Structure 1
Amino acid sequence: MTTIHEAFAPVKWEGDSLLLLDQTRLPVETVFLSLHTSEEVWAAIRHLQVRGAPAIGMAAAYGLYLGVRNSEAADSSALWNQLLEQADYLATARPTAVNLFWAIDRVKARVQQEGEKPVDALKAAVLDEALAIQREDAEVCRTIGEHLLTLLQDGMGILTHCNPGALATAAYGTATAPLYLAKERGWNLKVYADETRPVLQGARLTAYELQQAGIDVTLICDNMAAMVMAQGKVQAVIVGTDRVAANGDVANKIGTYGVAVLAKAHGIPFYVAAPLSSVDLETPTGADIPIEERPAEEITHGLGKQVAPDGIKVYNPAFDVTPAEYITAIVTETGIFKPEDIRNSKQ
């Protein structure tokens, strides 16, 4: 039987095309885009039709294949040069999620390992690696969920932010993985999902997928988090991340930093679910993480209508950085780590 976290897989390879669930249409419409070129993949990443760090990485890997599959390169060297051009192009789609660059680098490394094989064999290797990235992500997410579940108890209240769910990964999600596993085991966790400004990914996506899975989920506005914590309704906060710096700082959807500060003020543990592909030891601190800024219209024209004055100045960063001091633990597929020990996660 297909479970809800599998039914909402946002990235699928079928036949000769890439199918992406258009997440800008949820929760009202379920529409899959059929993509055939790297340009279409770039646009889907850029415009948030596919989002979530792991899903972005998977889409980029398939985008590399779409970018070279019709190549008429005469030899392996020519194909390699075309692959590098496609890699540089796709890397410009979004700047913050390190999984995008990780997946591109992994595909490039696979082609290098293949050596001077025939062009068709190298193209097949690109597709094979993209498929492998997707298969492995599902297992990574489940393992993260198993580790997180050891930190929770039946009946707890959990607050989450943005969409670190099945819609952002191959299956299970990252921060939502323990919620799905708890449901499978008959637990009754009570989840509070922040709506998550500016594009309401918590309301449109997290609340939607958890409701469909039969998980007890309550949607709250971002500025209600302090109140539900003060009322004793939350015993743990679990969020995902788009990048973890070497010192344990994490970048996640805007508003995460505020939730972490509130959790610390109320004595509530704050956990970050992070696949190793999101751990960037080459970035020293959170101050070194590039923060994407989104169009002003996402704030001035929310909910389908203009909600702010014409000509108003807007500051719209898509992410913020939560300092390591506010994080109780970072949970990867290799275990549970204090932020200052995150380097050990890759050993």
Structure 2
Amino acid sequence: MRTIDWVDGAVELIDQTLLPERVEVLRLRTVADLVAAVRRLAVRGAPALGVAGALGVALAAYTEPGPEAVRAAAESLRRARPTAVNLAWGVDQAAALLPEGPDAVLRRALAIRDDDVEACLSMGEYGADLLAGLTGTRPLTVMTVCNTGGLAAVERGTALGVAQTLHERGLLAEALALETRPLLQGARLTAWELARMGAPHRLVVDSAGPFLLARGHADAVLIGADRIAADGDTANKVGSYALALGARRAGVPFVVVAPETTIDMATPTGAGIEIEDRDAEEVVTLRGHRLAPEGTGALNPAFDVTPHDLITAIVTDRRVIRLDKGESLASVPPGPRRAGPSERV
């Protein structure tokens, strides 16, 4: 199934806040409703947010009363979550066609949707081949954080898409998914997706990840990205930095998987990435149940930044950049996309 799509004049998306208990598709007819869905994480994941941004501009073009209202609606969507560069990118890509009319905007948004599907297939191929080269052609145990599967894209996903390709090749021994506090995307979403694909998997408490790497429980760490700076510094779900430190200490490859659209060459280093600070209630409560005494505050950064010198490689839909070998985003030019398993001749 698709995480997000355009259906009969509205944006339809899976409400990820309700998983795994039930699968419910939201039908959103206004940009305000889409902005609210983005902010409460009904739709999340960098590629999916890029598509949401583009489809949201199309929705505005058809429903808002005039050009100024359309641009204001698009800007509200653009600002809904600051860290993921794909959201702003999707908005800007679609908004560029506003002078040509709503139909042109929608065609661009649908092209972005379809392009994401192809990109995820290609990342799976590039990533699986890289891991085979790093660790040998044998069944691998991979560790991951947050959710980077089809729920974070349109279909299939980024880092979890690599795990899916390994599984389809018979090369996935097990996936170890960090629970990912405070909203448990690993427990609620990644485990749900791994079960649907029939892949062997277990959950891991977030703080246990680095220790398990030290004990040899995983052959590689796969993470996604919400923004990659020009030097390779990578913003991803909070907890990624700790895994990178643990992986370096244990000598385990640490691989970032994200589409080319997540690379932000206008941001020189990770120090320039704005980190979203979310509501303390996400930490002190869990699905309506209080975990801490009344009046307890919390720091709740949604993301952290992993320095590029802790990253083995960045895998995109068009290239592999071996940071551990001195390569950089500037030195390795994008190449062709790889065909996914259903596209091979």
TM-score (norm 1): 0.90
| Aligned partner of 2:46 among 49, 53, 57 | 53
Deviations 1:58-89 (A, max 9, x none): 1121111111203454xxxxx3x444322211
Change in CA separation of 1:187 and 1:344 when aligned onto 2, cut-off 3 Å: same
Distance 1:46 1:189 in 2: 36
**2:337 alignment counterpart:** none
Change in CA separation of 1:85 and 1:346 when aligned onto 2, cut-off 3 Å: farther
**1:184 offset after TM fit, Å?**
2.3
Deviations 1:101-122 (A, max 9, x none): 111111123345x4xxxxxxx1
Contact 1:22 1:30 in 2 (8 A): yes
**1:32 alignment counterpart:** 25
Q: State, as a whole percentage, how many aligned pairs show the same letter.
A: 43
**1:99 alignment counterpart:** 86
Contact 1:175 1:239 in 2 (8 A): yes
1:295-314 map, 5 Å: 295-314=279-298
Instruction: Pick which of 13-22 and 32-41 moved more.
Output: 13-22
- Tell me which amino acid in the other structure corresponds to 2:304: D
| Aligned partner of 1:343 among 326, 330, 337 | 330
**2:161 alignment counterpart:** 177
**Which runs of no fewer than 5 residues in structure 2 stay unpaired?**
132-136, 335-345
Aligned residues: 326
Deviations 1:188-234 (A, max 9, x none): 33110000111110111011111111001111101111232233220
**2:312 alignment counterpart:** 328
Distance 1:270 1:175 in 2: 11
| Aligned partner of 1:267 among 251, 262, 281 | 251
Distance 1:231 1:66 in 2: 50
Deviations 1:99-142 (A, max 9, x none): 01111111123345x4xxxxxxx100111111111100011011
Deviations 1:29-75 (A, max 9, x none): 111111000000100001100000111111121111111203454xx
Q: RMSD of the alignment, in Å?
A: 1.5
Contact 2:228 2:262 in 1 (8 A): yes
Contact 2:57 2:105 in 1 (8 A): yes
Distance 2:55 2:223 in 1: 27
Change in CA separation of 1:83 and 1:194 when aligned onto 2, cut-off 3 Å: same
Distance 1:303 1:72 in 2: 38
**1:222 alignment counterpart:** 206
TM-score (norm 2): 0.91
Distance 1:196 1:202 in 2: 5
